[in-house]
Structure 1
Amino acid sequence: MTTTDKTNVRPRRYLLLLLVALTAIAVDLATKEWALATFRPGESVDVIGSFLQFTLVFNTGAAFSLGTGYTWVFTIIATLVVLAIAYIGWRVRSVWWGVTLGLMMGGAAGNLIDRYFRDPGPFQGAVVDFIRVPNWPVFNIADSCVVVGACLVVALTFKGLNLDGTMVSDEAKVAEKGVEGEGKDT
């Protein structure tokens, strides 16, 4: 029996990517609703002393509350990020990349839902943030997913893992064999 290139192709991980994204969205929305039902705006509650607190705030800007007057711009950017990940996701055949892009997509979508559906209105909605640690802005689960996803992108890139699950070093070896074989007579 002979093998072909198609028999060595890894399965797509798009479903994994979507499951991770949907899980991130669900956890983010559930925790935001819990924070809204439990705390008053600006109220701080110690969870682990002053190291971890819950403080309900509404952010109409980006990270660190930058660009507060440009909520609509961040809404458009986040929409484009979610769509880009959905498009790139079709090429993913690596479990690690599926999880990574799923976290990023879910985090971006979680905050995007706030921007579309929370007050004061569509494209102007404030993101619900409630997790506070020292010397850092208040954030939420969606923000955490984006940051963890971004860290994984860096780690996977340095490791040399491609979206299709192959390693960059494997590609170099294949290319090297191709160059060596070109000069030989058969």
Structure 2
Amino acid sequence: MTARLLRLRFLGLLVAGIWIVLDQISKTWAQSNLMGHPRFLFGHVGFELIYNSGFAFGIASGSSAIITIFGLIVSAGLIFALWRTSRRTIALGIGLVLGGALGNVVDRLFRHNGGAVIDFIHSGFWQTFNLADMGVVVGLIVIMVGSRQRQVSSSSNR
């Protein structure tokens, strides 16, 4: 294994770890400061504490155990993918998705919310979400862009 590949793996795991910590700090803040007291910055945009026992958008509410197992399986797959990548952009994206997935798994396993995750970022035009959710979405976009860049550069080399 080359030093470059080790650095890529470390980058992905470091990003995941940082994202988990930021997510948990933000959820602790939300739980301490928003219980029964939403804070709207302008209009309906702001912070409002809700507990989500389902997937994104409340799909499969009440299926926390199944969702936790699914999150752990996905996380294992992401670690496997991280070990196989040789691209910095992809490693970064995987780290964000992994951090987001594990951030929500941590909520389900270690917070006493009946298996629910803490959502608190309220946009007014989208479902309420958290930093873990942002990590998953932004990470997937980074992976898609990174994959597309490789395809474009490969196509132009033909």
Runs of 5+ consecutive residues of structure 2 not aligned to the other structure = none
Q: RCO higher in 1 or 2 (8 Å CA, sep ≥ 6)?
A: 2
Cα offset, 1:109, TM superposition: 0.4
Cα offset, 1:37, TM superposition: 1.1
- Select 2:74's aligned residue among 60, 81, 93: 81
Q: Does 1:153 align with 2:143?
A: yes
Q: Does 1:135 align with 2:125?
A: yes
Residues 10, 158 of structure 1: alpha-carbon distance in 2 compared, 3 angstrom cutoff = farther
Q: Give 4+ residue runs of structure 1 displaced > 3 Å after superposition.
A: 167-170
SS at match of 2:63: helix
Cα offset, 1:10, TM superposition: 7.9
SS at match of 2:108: helix
Q: 2:103, 2:132 within 8 Å by CA — same for their partners in 1?
A: yes
C-alpha distance in structure 1 between counterparts of 2:47 and 2:150, whole Å: 38
Could you tell me the TM-score, scaled by structure 1's length? Answer: 0.76
C-alpha distance in structure 2 between counterparts of 1:168 and 1:67, whole Å: 41
C-alpha distance in structure 2 between counterparts of 1:66 and 1:34, whole Å: 25
Matches within 5 A, 1:101-120: 101-120=94-113
Q: 1:10, 1:93 within 8 Å by CA — same for their partners in 2?
A: no
C-alpha distance in structure 1 between counterparts of 2:30 and 2:116, whole Å: 14
Matches within 5 A, 1:23-172: 23-41=18-36, 43-47=37-41, 49-50=42-43, 52-120=45-113, 125-160=115-150, 168-169=154-155
How many residue pairs align between the two structures?
Answer: 155
Runs of 5+ consecutive residues of structure 1 not aligned to the other structure = 1-5, 162-166, 174-186
CA-based RMSD of the aligned residues comes to: 2.1
Identity of aligned residues (%): 32
C-alpha distance in structure 1 between counterparts of 2:109 and 2:64, whole Å: 10
Bigger helix fraction: 2
Residues 68, 91 of structure 1: alpha-carbon distance in 2 compared, 3 angstrom cutoff = same
Q: Does 1:22 align with 2:17?
A: yes
SS at match of 1:68: coil
Q: Deviations over 1:80-99 (max 9, x none)?
A: 11111111211222211111
What corresponds to 1:182 in structure 2?
A: none
Residues 73, 32 of structure 1: alpha-carbon distance in 2 compared, 3 angstrom cutoff = same
Q: 2:51, 2:118 within 8 Å by CA — same for their partners in 1?
A: yes
Q: 2:51, 2:113 within 8 Å by CA — same for their partners in 1?
A: no
Q: Which has the larger radius of gyration?
A: 1
Could you tell me the TM-score, scaled by structure 2's length? Answer: 0.89
